[in-house]
Structure 1
Amino acid sequence: MPHRLSTARRLADLRQIYTGETASSLRPATRNGTQHWEPADRHTVAAILAHGVDHTRGGAAALLPVPDHVRRAVLADTRDPVQQRLEAAILRALGRAVLHRRPEPLRQGPVCSSVRPIAPATVGLHLRASILGPMLAELTVSGLRVVVHRRHVELLLRADESVASVSLAAISNRQWAAATHYAHALTGTVWPMGRGHPEPLHGWPAVDPAKAAYTNPMAAALLRRLRVLGPTNWLAVGIDDDRLTIHLTWAGGASTTTVAAHLTHPLGGLPAQRFDAYHHADDISLMAHGPHDEPAVAVVLCNLDGQAPPPRARTDTTAAWTAFDAALTRPASRTRPAR
């Protein structure tokens, strides 16, 4: 019993690197996940934990094969294509929110304070209020449904018999109203204040599922590990479905070698059969190889100086931020943007 609890605590510490969760949610999750492990599972995990993380190589070699049920107990990934599509779309939107920054001095702070992979079927995000509006302005998912609760908002996506869910935690009605006013001022999209579908002004572009079939799973896995980047000043994400490449560029926070080492860790890293790491002058490219003959997806990591300026916005967001600020001080009954 003492050894198992010690292992659970060490796994909780490992998971926290990726998710930023608090101990109150981490330890029960990892303790429950390890209850049904076989002795061979514990031996494998103990050997990997004893080896640690090789930061000098920018990657961690798997000492022993890790069964899927062991990895799920540490940090669950989703295999549902609908859930992957929703999470990948949110990562894209968060990675473009940097283009909507207010003209103010850089301040350290991650895009989200924590990510909570509740289960393979859902994930919870704790976003900064100032990120939510830009994220909504960049979020284009056909079929998206919104359910606004008192202290959180659910983003749902249904396809056939599958329902994907992402929960935006600790979002008040006033914060949601401000975020939707921001997005409406830029895009014309009307977001519901209760239950319903967003109403884009000109419709959202259709997504070719065949093109995103390989990048969506990796993008969803990156979203669930977003805090691995540390206390970044800003984050930019570019996903090229044609080239099977995901670019992550950030300022401040963890170094590229540290991030690469954690993303290739056999217990908490990205889901892949093996990785090839290529070091360049300004970045590290991780080639994540899947099973069988699936093509590899490249994850390119680039960390800039903490004072490096973010990408220049191509759209004037002054009016949108004015609408955002006005909604934060507006009476709660007057929250829906005018059509």
Structure 2
Amino acid sequence: MIRSVVSTVALLALATPAFAAGEVNIYSSRHYDTDDALYSNFEDATGITVNRIEDNADVLIERMRSEGELGAADVFITVDASRIGRADAADLLQPIGSDKVDATVPANLHADNDHWIGISTRARLIFFDKNDVTEPPQTYEDLADPKYKGMICTRSGSNPYMLSLLGSIIAHDGEEAARAWVAGVKDNFAREPQGGDTDQLRGLISGECDIAVANHYYYARGLQSEVSGLTDGIETIGVVFPNQETTGTHINISAAGLAKYSPNPDNARAFIEYLLTPEAQQMIANGNNEFPVVEGVEPSEVVIGLGDFRRDELPVDAFSTRTDLAQKIYNEVGYK
């Protein structure tokens, strides 16, 4: 394993007597191979043993809830704003209380109550079949335009990524506009919502869909390595970074929060601070082709190749707290 000497030396500064030993318990819904190196590097640099419990975010939230004050969780890591928002709403997190975190993480990616931070970001993009679509949607709002009737594929309205996207539309445009948007997109379905983001992109290549919505890294995977049903034919897929002239492209997060009943809060803070070091940021971003949150750290080459774009700077709090309303709207409109 090759490690950055400079970064590792910098990490040693974390190993002060206050938290130079012991353990930290990570409840995580991230499942990427690079996380193994992420944890082992932290252990090597600090002497703190990392114990991991990995599962679906909802399962972990319920476990933390049931464990209550006797809980073992120190840090909760998840891959969507709606999930970290749900954990916070359930009173399962507490203030991180770190000057390093405050100085490093952009304000819009940091909870107002200091209970969680974004550790990487992902952009939700519009993709289209270049052979069939000459005037693709340029905004999320355009997806509801009747001229795209019978052309659009998305995931289920209960999917966290779709909930966060609608939460942001509610925050920007209001509840009634969001409800009209959901109804318009539903009217434009090429098929009922099904599958994951990769399946939406596969639908473009198979001809089942003309326009699809997906996170950027699913497309990046198809460019970077062989993905069945996607890589072969991916050159026919066009990419739109939505809302460049208005709000900017919707940005979601992978997030880390400090558990309310953490038995090792100092070690938990040390770990969260470690996630913001250049070395850790590089591993987090490269592990899933996401964007780092720390200024000066570059994403993977394939992500850089997608080009620069204007990001929506709406605070994540503004849409993570509206996902219950988003689900209610999807349900009422019949957006499965």
* TM-score, normalised by the number of residues in structure 1: 0.26
User: Which gives a bigger RCO, structure 1 or 2 (Cα 8 Å, sep 6+)?
Assistant: 2
Identify, as 1 or 2, the structure richer in strand. 1
Tell me the TM-score normalized by structure 2.
0.27
